[in-house]
Structure 1
Amino acid sequence: MTTLTDRYVWAAARTLPEAQRTEFSRDLSERIADTVDARVDSGASTPETAEYDALVELGDPAVLTASYSDRPLVLIGPRYFLTWKRLLIFLESFVPATATAVSALGLVIAGGGWEVIGSAIGVGISVALQLAFWVTLVFAVIERTAAATGTEAHLGWTPDRLPQLPDVRRPHRRSDLIASLSFLALAVVFLVWQHFGIVWLGGERQPIPVLDPALWSFWLPYLLVLLVLEAAFAVWIYRSDWNWTNALVNVLLNVAFAVPVIWLFVGGMLLSPEFVAAVDPHLDTDADRALSVLFVAIVVGLCAWDAIDGLVKAARGGGRGTLDFPGNRSPRHTIR
C-alpha cells in the first residue's frame, strides 16, 4: 500500500467510531487494491497512474464515509454539500469573532459604555447569520445552475486534496508546539518590553511602563517563571501526548496564571499609575468599566478554553480516537 492510499483510508476512517475503523480501513484498502488491479488489467490506466485514477473514481473520502455510516448529505445536495460545509465552518471560525472585536474597539473609541458589549455581540451574531445565509445561497445557485446547464462547477475532489497522515507518536505535531512556543516567547518579550514604555502620547513614545514596576519584586518574575514552565510543558506534551495527569497539570498552570492576574487587576495593582493616568482622560467611566470587564472575560475565557481543551484531548486518548457516546455508533456495512 502506498502513501496516497494510506492517506485516503485515514481521511475516510477518521470520523468513524473507533470500533468501526479497523474493519472499514481493511475493506477500503482491499477495494482500492482491487480497483487498481482492474484498471491496470483493462488498460484504463497505466501502473504509474492506476492508484491516483482509482482514488478519483472513488471520490471524496468524506462522501464515501457518509454513505457507509448512513449519514445522508442534504441541504445543498450530495455533490457540493461537503465543500459548502467545510467553507462555512472555516469562515464562521474567525469572521464573526473578528467583526465582534472590531465593532467593540470602534464603539469604545467612540466613547461607548456598557452597551458596547451587547452591541458588539449583536454585530457578531448578525455577521454569523449573514455569512451562513449568503454562503448557502451561493452554493444553492451553483447546484441549480450546474444541474440546469448540464455542466459541473469546478469544485470537484481530487487525491491532491488528501490530508497528510498524522504523526502517530506525536499526534499534535510540530505546528502546535511551534505555535505555543512562539506565543509564550512573545509574552516574555512583552513583559520585559513594556517596562521601558510603549505608550504613545501626542505622536511620541513616552517612557511609561504598562505594568506597575513594583511587581518586579515578585509577581513579574513569577509570571516569567510560569511562562518558562508553560514552554517546558508544551515540549513535554509534544513528546509524551495528552493523558489525565498532563491535563490536570495544564489546569493547574492555567489557574496559576489567571488567579493572580485577575486579583492584581481587580485590586488596581496590575497597571502602573502613570499608564492609568495617561489613558484615563481618553475614557469615560462606562468605557473604563466595559474594558475592565472585557479584560477579565478574555483572561478567564482563554485559560478556561485551554484547560478544557486539554481535558478533551485526554478524554480522546491523546487525539488518536474519538469520544464514544450514544448516537455516535453507526451500523456496519460492507463497502461496495
Structure 2
Amino acid sequence: MTLSDQYIGAVLANVPAAQRGDIDAELRDLLGQEAAALVELGESPARAEWNAIDQLGDPDLLAARLTGRSPHLIGPRFFPSYIRRLRLLVTVAVPTVFVGTVLIGAVAMRPYAEVMGRATSSSAAAALVITAVLTIVTVARQRREAASTPPPWSPDVLVGSEPRSWQDFVRLVAALTMAGLIVAALVGQATGGALLSPSGQALPIIDPALWSFWMPYFIALLLVQAARQIAVYARPSQLRLWAWANLPIQAAFCIPAIWLLVTGRLLNPAITTTLGPEADRVVGAAAPALAALILAIVLIDNSGELWRAYRKGNRTTA
C-alpha cells in the first residue's frame, strides 16, 4: 500500500459512500499529476508523492471541504474523529448493555415484559450518556485548543499506519460483547441464582465463597482484556505488542480457573448436595475434559492472534 493509498483511504473514511467513487478517482488523478510534475522538476518519486500529499493537507479537513459539510457545534477539525469515536462507542456499548440486561433478567427469572423494558431503556440511556459525554469532551477540547495554533498536518503521520478493516471492528465488538456477557452471567447467577432446587430455591452455579477473592479477580482480568482489545483497535501499529500482552492475561485467567475446576472448588457444593452423588460423579468426570477444552481454545486463540499480528506487520513493512 502506497502513501497515496493511505492518504486517499483516510479521506474516504469521512466521505459518504455515494461520493467515494468520484472523490477517489479525482484524488488519484490530482495526486498523480502533481507528483509527475514534481518528478519532472527533479524530485525523486517518493519525495514528489510526499510533497503532492502535503499540498492537499489534513485528510479530515479535505473530506469536509469536498463534501460541503459545515458542522457548527463541532468544527471540521474535530468532527470526523468525533463521529468515528461516537459510532464505535455506541455500536459496542448499546448491544452489550441490551444483551447483558436481558441475560441478568433471564437468570433472575423476571417477567418478559419487565426484562425487555429494562433492556430497551438501559440501552437508550447508554447511547444518550455516551453521546452527551463525548460531545461535551470534544467541544471542551475544541475550545481549549482554539486559542493555540495546532501543529501543521504532515504526511509523516501516515507512515506505518494501516486502515482498520471491518473485520477488526467486528472482532472488537465480539470481544467486548463476550466480556460483558461473561461479567453479566457471573453477577446474574450470583444475585438471582441459575438453578432451582427441588424445594424451589434458586442456587448459584459458582461457589459463593469464591466472591471473597477469585470472582472479583476474574472480573478485573476481563476488564483488562477488554481494555487490551480497545488498544488493539485504537493502536494497530502496536499489534505485535498487544498480541504478546494477551499471553500473560490469558494465563492469569485460565490457570487458576482450571485449577479451581479440576480440584472441585469452582462449582457451588449445594448443587451436588441437592442433586445427589450421581451429579458429583458426572462433574468430577467431566472436569478434566472441560479443562483440556479450555486450554485448547486459549492456545488456538493466542496462536491466531500472534499469526495475524505478524502477518499484518510483515505486510506493512513489505
TM > 0.5 fold call: no
Q: Using CA pairs below 8 Å that are at least 6 residues apart, which structure has the higher relative contact order?
A: 1
TM-score normalised over the length of structure 1: 0.42
Higher normalized helix content (fraction of residues): 2
Q: Provide the TM-score with structure 2 as the length reference.
A: 0.44
